Amino acid sequence: MPSETAGAAPERHLIRYSGHAPFSPEIIARAAGTSVFTESGRELLDFTSGQMSAILGHSHPAIVATVREQVALLDHLHSGMLSRPVVDLTRRLAETLPEPLEKVLLLTTGAEANEAAVRMAKLVTGRHEIVSFARSWHGMTQAAANATYSAGRKGYGPAAPGNFALPVPDRFHPDFVDAEGELDWRRQLDLGFDLIDAQSVGSLAACLVEPILSSGGVIELPPGYLAALAHKCRERDMLLILDEAQTGLCRTGDWYAFEHEGVVPDILTLSKTLGAGLPLAAVVTGPEIEQRAHERGFLFFTTHASDPLPAAVGNTVLEVLVRDRLDERARALGTTLRGHLDELATRHDAVGDVRGRGLLLGMELAGDQILGAGGADRLGAAVTRRCFELGLHMNIVQLPGMGGTFRIAPPLTASDTEIAHGAAILDQALTDAVKDL
């Protein structure tokens, strides 16, 4: 068929699926390393790793070679058939995790993995109530969407019964404070569960949370919080499900973000980073939970469960992460990037806070103080546009009451030079946007 005629809107035949967020103003033609290239020939540094997924950068040679070889050998099977890439990936993934996490289900997306995890938790506990953070994002399928509070809840009819929101321990915007004015997260957590207990019908099944809330504003849980949350779950015989779609596999400087706190979940979900940009996700649990689920007839049969092609890619991702010590690289590069962002914060009044860990960092704008009500949202949009014009792709979070927060997550393979160049563009964009508003 002929290509789109000149001047026609590229989105003419597309259903708009991002709420009120517009599509990118230019069509992307190709990508390599830390950059994407538009049809017009412009190069953009990609500080979102695609959809927060391409931890090895774009078109990584090892991934390209694996796809070429595997697609010619074995690409797709009936979901009840096993292949060597699937068997190898489940074993290798289990070897990266602490006991008892050794039983793996391979799927395609994070929403699908969370859907399967919640379904498993309900089956093995015989209960139906799910707790998650009030600024969570776990996906747009049914159970995942019911546990998502940051967006997408209005206008779709009633949510499933038994979903409860837990207050977010946001140290920059504390709602419970101690005598020093700091976030009193223990009191906040206690009250949160007091309210959940009051509403529960005695059927609490699981708590599904991200160890660092990404779409919720890059909120890192305070030290000790995750252990206290796990204790709350044990008191109620609930399962703890950790969604590490964006934090897992070295992005935060640890192989898994939960390792930072020494808390092992009952069920772990992975996606995005496992396929390094290709559709691959996983649910991981221990043999006791898996056995109980199997005895009760656990059913999560999908077209692309245990597909060999993405599994082969997952094996290559793990190989590269180990070979190139990308957990160490994420820590070092994250420290460098954090230094650049902290320096910007000292020179730009528009920067209110810098936070995060490894190569998942947040920079929150304080536009309301500068421009009045709604100023952070307008400033965030203006900075994002100016970054794009200057050659940097950035992603802004806009949630009521917290202003605009950039989610900054370049590939783990980015160079020091690329990190410095991206920070310089952001510096210029901040200057230009504040001046123009």
Q: pLDDT digit string (tens) for 408-431?
A: 999 999 999 999 999 999 999 999
What is the pLDDT, as a whole number, of residue 7? 56
Residue 8 clears pLDDT 50, i.e. is over it: yes
420's CB contacts (< 8 A; 6+ apart) are: 336, 340
Nearest to 376 by CA among 343, 360, 352: 352
Overall average pLDDT of the 388-415 stretch: 88
What is the pLDDT, as a whole number, of residue 137? 95
The residues that bridge with 132 in the sheet, in sequence order, are 165
Delimit the CATH 3.40.640.10 region(s) of the chain: 74-323
325's CB contacts (< 8 A; 6+ apart) are: none
- The label of the residue with tokens 């099977």 reads 77
134's CB contacts (< 8 A; 6+ apart) are: 149, 165, 166, 167, 168
- The label of the residue with tokens 């290559």 reads 316
Amino acid at 364: E
Residue 4 clears pLDDT 60, i.e. is over it: no
What is the pLDDT, as a whole number, of residue 402? 57
Delimit the CATH 3.90.1150.10 region(s) of the chain: 28-60+325-436
Cβ 364 vs Cβ 352: under 8 Å: yes
Give the chain's mean pLDDT. 95
| Percent of the chain's residues with pLDDT above 70 | 97
Residue 370 clears pLDDT 90, i.e. is over it: no
308, exposed or middle or buried, with CB in 10 Å at 0-12, 13-18, 19+? buried
> With respect to CATH, is domain 74-323 assigned 2.60.40.1890?
no
Q: Which residues are catalytic?
A: 137, 210, 243, 246, 272, 407
CA dist 297 and 281 (Å) reads 22
What is the pLDDT, as a whole number, of residue 399? 64
The residues that bridge with 230 in the sheet, in sequence order, are none
Least confident of 205-209, 306-310, 348-352: 348-352
What is the pLDDT, as a whole number, of residue 193? 98
Element (H, E) at 64: helix 61-73
What is the pLDDT, as a whole number, of residue 430? 97
- Helices 375-390 and 416-436, axial angle in degrees (round to 10): 130
pLDDT class for 398, splitting at 50, 70, 90?
A: low
Residue 369 clears pLDDT 90, i.e. is over it: no
CA dist 171 and 11 (Å) reads 40
Give tens-digit pLDDT for 213-261.
999 999 999 999 999 999 999 999 999 999 999 999 999 999 999 999 9
Residue 1 clears pLDDT 60, i.e. is over it: no
pLDDT class for 403, splitting at 50, 70, 90?
A: low
Which three-class secondary structure state does DSSP give residue 49? Answer: helix
28-60+325-436 adopts what CATH topology? Aspartate Aminotransferase, domain 1 (3.90.1150)
